[in-house]
Amino acid sequence: MALSRRTFSALSGSAALGLALGGSGGTGAPSAYAARSVPTGPTPAPPRADGEHHTIGYDRYSLLVDGRRLVVWSGELHPFRLPSPALWRDVLQKMRAHGYNAVSVYVAWNYHSPAPGTYDFSGVRDLDLFLRTAAETGLYVILRPGPYINAEVDGGGFPGWLTATKGRARSADPTYLGHVDEWLTHVNRIAREHLFTQGRGTVLLYQIENEYDARVDSADSRAYMSHLYKKVRADGIDVPLFHNDKGRNGYWTPGSFDTAGERGGWLYGFDGYPSPSQTPPDWGTFGPGGAKGGASASPTTPGFVPEFGGGWFDPWGGSFYDGKGYAEARRTRDSAYERRFYLTNLANGITLHNVYMTFGGTSWGWLPAPVVYTSYDYGAAIDEARNVTAKIAPMHQLGHLLQRVPDFAKLDRAADVHAEGLKVYHLTNPDTGAHVYIARNDAAEPVAADLPTAEGRVRITVPGKDAKLLATGLSLGRRKLKYATVQPTMCLTAGRQDVAVFTGRKGEMAELVLECDTDPDVMRLDPEAAWGVDDSGLHVNAPLGQSGLIRVLVEKGDAGTPLLLLFADDATSVRLFPYDTPSGSLLVYGPQLLRHVELRGSEVHLTGDITDPTSVEVWGPRGISGLVWNGRRLATRVTMSGSLMTTAMLPAVPDVRLPALGKWRMRRENPEVGPGYDDSKWKRADKKTSYSTSAVPDGQPVLFADDYGFHYGDVWYRGVFDDSSGISEVALGYSTGTQGLLMAWLDGEPLGTHRMPVPDAATIRKGTWSDTAAFPVRDALRSPGRHVLSVLVRRMQHDQDGKSDDTHKAARGLTAAVFKGASPKVSWRIQGEGRPDPVRGPLNNGGLHGERSGWHLPGFQDGDWESVALPRAERYQGVTWYRTAFRLAVPGDVDASIGLTLQDDPYRAYRAQIFLNGWNMGQYINNVGPQHTFALPNGVLRTRGENTLALAVLSEFTTLSGPGEVRLTLLGKAAGGLVVS
């Protein structure tokens, strides 16, 4: 058999302890690498769907892709939290440009399955499209389809209908496993068409279950995990599988459950969300070891954190961040936090690192679990409005370093090193002899110290609560670095020269020394740099951040290939973008974002984004002589550094003008409260038993909404009984998620409103809230004859099932009705959401009359509604709808991110459900917060055309109610962007 070069490379590589999955042996058939270590060498090329077969193996250091070492630098993105498929590409391109080589994605069962046996992967739920887009962007995919995902989504991702089924979830119960198998069959049918092993896509790893830490020693739990493993393999998924251990427990390491005799296809992973007030933990090489020591729980597999804190969620009321919201999350878990914690992970041998979240997005509609509000911004490096924040700098620098400098894929612990006032980690690459030092300052004030290195003592300064990575003995193309006081960020060959980039903090003086036995020719291309040669080598100094990029060209001497040294502070570094093409690598400097590069003859065609006036500079393959930016040819010149640079600045993004919102129309609803309302088509609430974990109160029918097929949003009840003469009080038991609410009427007259308390530090994680709302019955409402008790419950969604106790099955809605002074026999009917929206999916609509009647939809005729102006100040119990239309005219070459802001007197007790063009974009609770601005994603929002905005306002009657001020807010803008449908 003739071997292709790719096949030969894969076979000649090896893994001491790993197995390569896939190949000619059929689905999941393993083939062992030769039992010798894999040397440090070039990293794998960016992944794509190339039609070739690939191997994925591992040893204790790293993954091995086609026999080459791969460090996975991944970011978490949930497609279901961005309901605009065109914007998936936008965020993925931002991730790739800023150093990520992988994206990790949950697939939420509830998002795709509105009913048993029904699965929808169309439109905004098109998983196939997302996986194709990731491959086209050049990112590996870590696929995480559950069946349980947690993720602060309703029910932890379980579909609402699962709450009304028998058998315990997350167990080997046959009924549950039947549903799971059906779900996985549908997901895996798509996933196997995108496996990297088969050359069809870039799915690199696949997770089964998530944070499954209940009853791990039981035969049932082991059987459950074994079932999932075998099911996924039977469905044709042949990439390595893993589980995400909740904390460092050593649960589900290789060999802990039956994998049908397959060895080498399972990785141990664990997660961690350390607080910024903590000292960064050692979860690996430098840690205490053992089963609870992180990576040391599985010493034969590479260190893997499937989730590491890129921020943190915020609960209703905002108690995590003192009501300041996600801006405070981003401030407290900032760039310095990332350097301290992520560099500590790198020092501890973590070579599979996924940042949760990198883009948080929006828990729109009824997606959010009870513990969070609508925004899932998370304080992430890319904010909810798709803006790249200052937090991207460490991700950008480390990501490109790990992709472009292969030494970091294979590091051993080296001799301990001490520097006064600093925690120092010392590692070395056994193949190249390079040394890596991570110096961490856990104190609040800067520390200056002498760092002992393999090249002698080096004076460094580390800011307070920060960290620094330094290296000695690194190869910079054909030359060797002795040491540098700033971090290497990338090294690549562009045309006839090598290019090395070093980065640090603004105001820092970079000092770099190159080995040189023969004096080189050195050219200072920017006046800020200084250089000199002595017996110890070539010394280069550059003050970072004074005037952008600093360039120094080194020629001749020990190597015939020139070396271009580039020095950048954080803000400058994130405008340096490497890009690989079939004709060679390029480095682009200047724009806010580089999306794509193509070489067409002698022209370089670039697409990307610009916010401020900038030049564009390109180092690339020989022969390039022209630049085309977003389809426009630019005048250029050749610089002394060998780059092609624009002769004029590209202009800043133009202004974006937003209209004021006016011409509101208003209509009250609640016809359900009227005694004569026809509820004959509603379901009878007369069941006697339930699969819920909540007990059915004695003497009461089952009133739980899920038992009648109503799983999302609001639910209405109407109870008919005879004779209210002796009734002095009605006590209504109900159960909801956080900030649930109940409103009651008797014969159309309001009895009152009851709301669950705002969570505090002790109840932040409480997912199910139960209480009894007791309402006195006025004399005027007491009489013989027929009476109707109407109740509206805002259920606030299902709890997650983090402890595998079926907590997602806790009751939602009304649970009991008790009368004081009499005991009437009540006949109950119930009504919730209608049929699932075929475009927006099952989690878009609840059970309000206006939702069931289409009042939220763009085409609804509201001409007979009352014309009103905002702000409003009314006292009313119930639901009032407000609608308006507005037109946007954002220029076609501008990507504008727009939000809706609501503000009012914080004392006023009301909430508003926000609908844009029929899409339920979230819930605003005026007197709770902390969220006031709601992102409106392009695609849902028509940035060039007509839009319909509807607000469904629930007023509690206890105070005056709004809405108050409602306005559009510009959240970000860039010249460029993508075409959005």
Active-site residues, by number, are 211, 307
Q: Are 343 and 438 in contact (CB under 8 A)?
A: yes
Q: DSSP letter for 841, please.
A: B
| Residue 523 backbone dihedrals phi, psi, to 5 degrees | -125, 120
Burial class (CB in 10 A: 0-12, 13-18, 19+), 641: buried
Exposure string over 246-278, b if 16+ CB within 10 A, otherwise e: bebebbbbbebbebeebebbbbbbbbbebebee
Spatial neighbors of 122 by CB under 8 A, at least 6 apart, are none
- Rounded Cα distance between 60 and 410, Å, is 9
Q: Are 344 and 438 in contact (CB under 8 A)?
A: yes
CB of 516 closer than 8 Å to CB of 533: yes
Other beta carbons less than 10 A from residue 728's beta carbon: 14
CA atoms of 676 and 164, how far apart (whole Å): 32
Cβ neighbours of 948 (radius 10 Å): 19
Q: Are 515 and 457 in contact (CB under 8 A)?
A: no
What gap in Å lies between CA 731 and CA 745, rounded to an integer? 12
Locate 42 and state its tokens. 């070039």
d(CA 399, CA 576): 13
Distance CA 396, CA 91 (A): 14
DSSP state of 282: -
What residues form DSSP beta bridges with 604?
599, 627
Strand 593-600 with 603-609, pairing: antiparallel
In single-letter form, the type of residue at position 77 comes to L
Residue with tokens 């997005």: 361
- Cα-flanking dihedrals φ and ψ of residue 615, to 5°? -90, 170
* Cβ count within 10 A of residue 553: 18
Q: Judging by beta carbons within 10 Å of its beta carbon (0-12, 13-18, 19+), is residue 792 exposed, middle or buried?
A: buried
Q: Which residues pair with 945 in a beta bridge?
A: 888
Structure tokens at 981: 């449908």
E strand or H helix that includes residue 314: none
